[in-house]
Structure 1
Amino acid sequence: MTKQYQYKHIQVAVDGSKEADLAFKKAVTVAKHMNASLEILHVIDTRSFQNVSSFDSAMVEQVSNDAKKKMEKYYQSAQDSGVKEVHYSIEFGSPKTIISREFPKKHDIDLIVVGATGLNAVERLLIGSVTEYVTRTADCDILVVRHNKAGLD
């Protein structure tokens, strides 16, 4: 008899895209099925503020407040769906390294759920997607949710 692997700490990265929403729904389903904790993560890419001529703290605060409102909705949705242990985090920095390395290490993540693509098509074209980077560098299992395969529309 083989022992079934049980995920205990699931991370889902969300950025407001349709693909991230599908990844969130899949992560909720897996977390409920496995009775795992769910960590909902949003990373505010600090590079997007580097080109602002006069660093505007009000703009950073607005972006942070918008992210917090979205995260509270994800949090409530996961709880309403029956996930027993849900947390959310808003981090600042490089999405690639935070999603793939820093956050999973800090929170003992054993499964990362990500959408097949995210919001930034230009970055994907020039330096590769966050998802592609995560699948190459993360130390734990990765579940990539594809919009046309997820069955969650």
Structure 2
Amino acid sequence: MFKNIVVTLDGSDNSNDALVQAVDVAKTNNANLTLVSIVNETSYYYMGSTVTVGTTPLPTDMKEVQRNAAQKTLDAAEAYCSSQGVSVKTQIEEGIPKRVIVDSYTREKGYDLLVIGKSGTDAVSRVLLGSTTAYVVRNADTTVMVVG
């Protein structure tokens, strides 16, 4: 039924649950599986050269910090997939996650199933801008499986 599956990962428990489901669906359907993690540009856009929270300085290159975290998430997910006998492709993207997911992974790249966790790690963005998952469900041009 599904031949090209993509799962979005942000390191949250819900995205890890989404990965488990995506692997099961990929195995059942003998489908291709792609793992995607998105570096959220809104998290580092306003960062200056000196930022502190209380007395703790934050990294000045938040983009690089997020890229490293995304790579660690993908590496762990790829190891899990390998342990389940599923080969995968991985991709790190940059941008506003909900827009990247809808524009690139439900419209342009030909995936017939997108698997996503019901909520992710970015609670502040969710409160201010709305849930990534809700946006994806409303705007996707493909089947969406929400796991959580």
Asked if structure 2 preserves the Cα contact closer than 8 Å seen for 1:12 and 1:113, the reply is yes
For structure 2, the residue ranges without an aligned partner over 5 or more in a row are 51-58
Cα displacement (A) at 1:82:
1.7
For structure 1, the residue ranges without an aligned partner over 5 or more in a row are 1-5, 147-153
Kindly provide the CA deviation profile for residues 41-68 of structure 1, in whole angstroms up to 9, marking residues without a partner as x: 1000111111211398744333322321
Distance in 2 of aligned mates of 1:92 and 1:81? 28
Residue 71 of structure 2 is aligned to residue 68 of structure 1: yes
Distance in 2 of aligned mates of 1:67 and 1:89? 9
Distance in 1 of aligned mates of 2:39 and 2:109? 19
- Structure 2 vs 1, CA of residues 126 and 65 (structure 1 numbering), >3 Å: closer, same or farther? closer
Aligned Cα root-mean-square deviation (Å): 1.8
TM-score, normalised by the number of residues in structure 1: 0.83
Equivalent residue for 2:33, pick from 35, 38, 41: 38
Moved more, 69-78 or 59-68: 59-68
Q: How does 1:1-150 map to 2 (within 5 A)?
A: 6-54=1-49, 58-83=61-86, 85-146=87-148
Cα displacement (A) at 1:81:
0.5
TM-score, normalised by the number of residues in structure 2: 0.86
What is the percentage of aligned positions where both structures have the same residue?
36
Aligned residues: 140
Distance in 2 of aligned mates of 1:32 and 1:72? 20
Kindly provide the CA deviation profile for residues 77-125 of structure 1, in whole angstroms up to 9, marking residues without a partner as x: 1122022x41110000010011122133343100010111111222222
Distance in 1 of aligned mates of 2:129 and 2:47? 22
Amino acid in structure 2 at the alignment position of 1:101: D
Asked if structure 2 preserves the Cα contact closer than 8 Å seen for 1:22 and 1:145, the reply is yes
